[in-house]
A = this chain, B = another copy of it.
Amino acid sequence: MSEPGLSDGDGAAAGAADSHGQYISAIYRHMQVVIAAELAPYRIGSGQYIFLMAIASGRAVTQKALSARLLVDKATTAKAIAKLEAEGYVRRDPDPADNRYQLLELTDEGRQIVPYVKEALARVKARTRKGLSDEAYDSFIQSLKIVLRNLTELEEIRE
């Protein structure tokens, strides 16, 4: 009885109706746990893999650029990079042209694990999108993009 879930429960209650916020939050939290477990063998936490992947998918970047691309606070980036560096996956070279910048690159060890991390993430993605056709998934992503844009536009105004 009383399957866990987020629905309004006892419908009658003057309903705020189903809201994406609740689902987003629950999905986020549960995915963090799954991803953390999946990446534990590589000593990478759920807070670091996006940075690793972002660095992997291009040439040297700065933390500022990473923060902007991933929509993350620069402090978060700094701390995540510090962990990746401590694990020996990422190297920080100060930009000779401008010593304020730290150019981020993968180490050899970093390049080695990237494929495994990619596989792990692909597994998580496949498991969690199960039941969504390609069309449904595509429109899902489109909706996510719209919601995210709504949120980031709010911020731009504020600046």
A interface majority secondary structure: helix
**CB-CB under 8 A for A16 and B132, given A57-B9, A69-B4:** no
Contact, CB under 8 Å: B151 / A27: yes
**A79-87, A101-109, A133-141 - the one binding chain B:** A133-141
Q: A105 to chain B: closest CB distance in Å? A: 15
Contact, CB under 8 Å: B10 / A121: no
Q: A70 to chain B: closest CB distance in Å? A: 7
A16 vs B50: C-alpha distance when bound (angstroms): 12
**CB-CB under 8 A for A24 and B31, given A57-B13, A70-B6, A132-B143:** yes
- List residues of chain B with CB within 8 A of the CB of A121: 16, 19, 21
A151 to B, closest residue via Cβ = B30
**CB-CB under 8 A for A152 and B30, given A13-B58, A58-B13:** yes
Contact, CB under 8 Å: B26 / A25: no
**CB-CB under 8 A for A148 and B26, given A20-B125, A127-B154:** yes
Q: A134 to chain B: closest CB distance in Å? A: 11
